Amino acid sequence: MTAIDDRHLVDVRHVRHQYGKPGAGGQLVLDDVDLTLFDNEIVGLLGRSGSGKSTLLRSIAGLIHPTSGDVAFPKAAGQAPTTVSMVFQSFALFPWLTVLQNVEVGLEAKRTPPEERRRRALAAIDLIGLDGFENAYPKELSGGMRQRVGLARALVVDPTILLMDEPFSALDVLTAETLRTDLLDLWCEGRMGIKSILMVTHNIEEAVLMCDRILVFSSNPGRIVAEIKVDLPQPRNRQNPAFRRLVDQIYARMTQRGAVEGRRGDGVFPGLGVGMVLPRVSTNTLAGLMEAIHAAPFNGKAHLPDLAGALHYEADELFPIAETLQLLRFAELEGGDIRLTSEARRYAEADVDGRKQLFAQHLIAYVPLAGHIRRVLDDRASHQAPARRFRDELEDLMTPEDADQTLKAVTNWARYAEAFAYGESADLFSLDDPE
């Protein structure tokens, strides 16, 4: 960990990946990404959801073939070829197999003889602390135990590199911390037989806690925007000032302009901004965040790590809310801080109707899709328009899932603001009040 060997385990060069149709219409998730993984290090890929970090991990795992670019495993003299193994966010255990059978699955695929299979699986189970659970089925286990099975299954095939895709994000806080510590102990003692770990995370503290190197991804499209070396000795202490400084620094890095813009498809209305993918953030959450920042102790301006701590939010949960406020011009994000605008402070003090009016004004003025729908409804004599039409328009600019999510987000905001109505059964937008 401290002494970084010069041996390259993985060389990723100029990797680009696009979903959907090549050329216009497709969505670029990775753009010209370079990465080198050295011997004896833990590297974290840190970024927002949709920043392509999972895609990069899957490219290295061989599950995805990037549209262009190379993923190479350089051969060193006298060394066995590099192999990889993966741990999944959702654990990905076969519910119909016992713990032992789940762990054996990779060896079985490699046609290892049954006796050796059993021996190695039991050794891995022992290593990872699952003794006694060999004959349990995954559904009988807690989340933490399930992820241990996932780890044992990945380690039993003796990989050179362990790939982990947000391995702790489906676990509760305490369980996740225990697993992290156990994993770090095994790593520091060199008992896992792996040369390197590459992990995807959206949790800044987790990255600083575990990694020797952190690569920060932007999300429009996925690019590596920063590489941060973590030289703190293990075991690391979250309360250590150096640790906090590093966390603050990464927060600031991730909230910089450019890294925060919504993803845009390159479509026909780039100027209009209709092609911006919007997150589904509830208006209650938006109002709640504005109130929280408006009130003491923040009084209109908050440091994001403090805010996340005070509200018990993960950074990744906080960012979409903060950015939606920024999009609506209710807040400004700068250097890891969030500051409410004067309108937002007015909103926080207004009554229900005042809030709705203010929200409606900002929604129509600053969210291009909302303004677009409203204009269409205003122009039509019937004041009605099928939602299908806007969905089609969005699908030209982004993937159908994103289009669906974006339209639902705008629909919910507009319903709250009473800017326009939506009837689910007729799939129709209208200016009418509900009957």
- Name residue 143's amino acid: G
Based on the shown chain and the rule CB under 8 A, indicate whether residue 66 belongs to the binding site for another protein.
no
DSSP for residue 139: G
Among 13, 14, 34, 62, binds another protein (CB under 8 A): 62
Based on the shown chain and the rule CB under 8 A, indicate whether residue 28 belongs to the binding site for another protein.
no
Neighbouring CB atoms inside 10 A of 287's CB total 16
Asked if the bond preceding 81 is cis, omega within 30° of 0, the reply is: no
Least Å distance, CB 185 to another protein, is 26
Based on the shown chain and the rule CB under 8 A, indicate whether residue 185 belongs to the binding site for another protein.
no
Least Å distance, CB 8 to another protein, is 22
**3 state SS for 300-360:** CEEEHHHHHHHHCCCHHHHHHHHHHHHHCCCEEEECCEEEECHHHHHHHHCCHHHHHHHHH
Q: What are the two backbone dihedrals, phi and then psi, of residue 127, each rounded to the nearest 5 degrees?
A: -60, -40
Based on the shown chain and the rule CB under 8 A, indicate whether residue 86 belongs to the binding site for another protein.
yes
Least Å distance, CB 70 to another protein, is 16
Based on the shown chain and the rule CB under 8 A, indicate whether residue 126 belongs to the binding site for another protein.
no
- Name residue 69's amino acid: G
Based on the shown chain and the rule CB under 8 A, indicate whether residue 112 belongs to the binding site for another protein.
no
Based on the shown chain and the rule CB under 8 A, indicate whether residue 148 belongs to the binding site for another protein.
no
Nearer to another protein (CB atom), residue 27 or residue 85: 85
Q: How many residues bind another protein (CB under 8 A)?
A: 31
Based on the shown chain and the rule CB under 8 A, indicate whether residue 157 belongs to the binding site for another protein.
yes
Instruction: Supply angle C-alpha 353, 355, 358, rounded to 5.
Output: 110
Q: Of 90-98, 224-232, 359-367, 378-386, which part binds another protein (CB under 8 A)?
A: 90-98
Least Å distance, CB 2 to another protein, is 31
Nearer to another protein (CB atom), residue 133 or residue 251: 133
Least Å distance, CB 201 to another protein, is 17
Based on the shown chain and the rule CB under 8 A, indicate whether residue 111 belongs to the binding site for another protein.
yes
Terminal CA-CA length for the chain:
66
- Give the rounded distance of the alpha carbon of 360 from its chain centre: 30
- The alpha-helical segments, DSSP class H, found in 50-136 are 53-61, 99-109, 114-127
Residue pair 165/90 in contact (Cβ under 8 Å)? The answer is no
Beta bridge partners of 188: none
Q: What are the two backbone dihedrals, phi and then psi, of residue 216, each rounded to the nearest 5 degrees?
A: -95, 130
Least Å distance, CB 103 to another protein, is 12
What's the rounded Cα separation, in Å, for the pair 145 and 103? 13
Among 95, 132, 233, 434, binds another protein (CB under 8 A): 95
Q: Of 119-127, 134-142, 284-292, 350-358, which part binds another protein (CB under 8 A)?
A: 134-142
Residues of this chain, 200-229, that bind another protein according to CB under 8 A: none
Based on the shown chain and the rule CB under 8 A, indicate whether residue 63 belongs to the binding site for another protein.
yes
The binding site for another protein (CB under 8 A) comprises: 22, 58, 61-63, 84-86, 88-92, 94-97, 105-106, 108-111, 137-140, 146, 157, 424-425
